[in-house]
Structure 1
């Protein structure tokens, strides 16, 4: 039996339930840190259910969530990272590009990731040692060797460009590469895993909304790097890049302005 098989089964079960809940419009929309930082009752309802289920089935595990916080396990025990609705602004506005994101990490790093797209009926998943999947079928990142005519995805830092973002956009445009900013970091990065985008760069890594998609992309064969150029699925600071191996150096150079050679 695959390690963490029960945990993966639970994550897929929760993703399916959350996707069904997200297909209904929110009944309540409020704000948190500022007027652009939206939260809905759906965000909170999904997180409460996930917390209740994993606490019952895996009581020794920690959980860090977008809405109710938490801390990683201090003793190396597994920790869940949950974003109940990644892309809340889209969801609250009725734009069908948002996702449910749930990852699990242990002392050796991420062990599973699940990202659900409720409006396309797709669930992306991976477990340590296994392939990346979309609805149970294997997926692979792009085999592109150049950026001309390709797509690179990124996301705002909340509602603003992150430092260096506009420079990266200019460098990519100079290579005839199109950039897309869709509104859900998790869903954007699993698009790289599925080969729908050649690469993706997020200006600041947060495991709550990125660990699941980054892990799935890595299992799909993507080159995953931090700002220092080192391979990592869990950078301690800074942003993160995922890209098909054939364009990874080019995407990293566009992001940082430095030569990968």
Structure 2
């Protein structure tokens, strides 16, 4: 079993190179063609590239991915790679430059997420972490950054949820002037920027997010000293042995802000 820092470096390398591949292919009409279900040519090409790279970088690895699925063994010593080859695919296929590649590594026996990286497809450096080894923006390790941005990132579907979260937004704005609400289209990347402190609060009440979507970014937020909760205010649980939904997600470097968002969203 590789140590967490080794796995972080592999995650950064593979996610960054896959992001480069997607960037080089961007805005090609063929990439949006559906292969099966919701899988497009872009998704499949990126995933195949990532799986090949992971298997060349590591002696053995168990891959759980968006397109291929998979089930990992708890008895194996091979780390589990949770792969989202293209988060923000609607943006990507629309030539909108906010999308990312996300890779996390987990211990198959404990289920602990050990390391991960979220790499922007276009501008920006990867956000990565290793458990106990700190958070990185590109190649620079940083401590607890604190909130530097004024964005509240919000995803809701149902009218009732919109009304509920509106109250929370009002309370948040009462605490800190200048907050602005955005929904940018790549949850993994927005969570990564929450870890950096550029997004103050992340709220997704659609109950659609899966472990492969968020494992790397959630690990980074926690390693940076932040909190990630489910829609009821409990620490978010992330299973790692197969693709599964994690439900609603609320995150911030400031626990008070996260709890206000949870109370509003469940109200």
TM-score scaled by length of structure 2 = 0.81
Give the whole-Å Cα distance in 2 for the aligned partners of 1:168 and 1:199: 16
Which residue number corresponds to residue 138 of structure 2?
A: 135
Cα deviation digits, residues 181-218 of structure 1 (max 9, x gap):
11001011111111111111223341111111111111
1:232 counterpart = 2:236: yes
Q: Which residue does the alignment assign to 1:181?
A: 183
**Partner Cα distance (2:57, 2:159) in 1:** 41
Which ranges of structure 2 fall in alignment gaps of 5 or more residues? Answer: 174-178, 240-244
Question: Where does residue 84 of structure 2 map in the other structure?
Answer: 83
Partners of 1:130 and 1:48 in 2: CA distance: 29
Higher relative contact order (CA 8 A, sep 6+): 2
Please say if residues 189 and 213 of structure 1, whose CA atoms lie closer than 8 Å, have aligned partners that are also in contact. Answer: yes
Q: 2:162 matched to 1:166? A: yes
Is the contact between residue 141 and residue 192 of structure 1 (CA under 8 Å) also seen in structure 2? no
The within-5 A match list for 1:1-261 is 3-24=3-24, 25-27=26-28, 28=30, 29-31=32-34, 37=38, 39-75=39-75, 77=77, 78-106=79-107, 107-137=110-140, 138=142, 140=144, 142-143=146-147, 150-155=150-155, 161=157, 165-175=161-171, 176=173, 177-203=179-205, 204=207, 205-234=209-238, 237-245=246-254, 246-257=256-267
Contact 2:35 / 2:41 at 8 angstroms: preserved in 1?
Answer: no
The answer (yes or no) to whether the contact 2:5–2:115 under 8 Å persists in 1 is no
Deviation at 1:169, TM superposition (A): 3.4
Would the aligned equivalents of 1:224 and 1:233 in 2 still touch at CA under 8 Å?
A: no
TM-score (norm 1): 0.82
Residue 198 of structure 1 aligns to a residue whose secondary structure is strand
Partners of 2:237 and 2:76 lie apart in 1 by 17
Which 5+ residue runs of structure 1 have no aligned equivalent?
none
8 Å Cα contact 1:100-1:115 kept in structure 2? yes
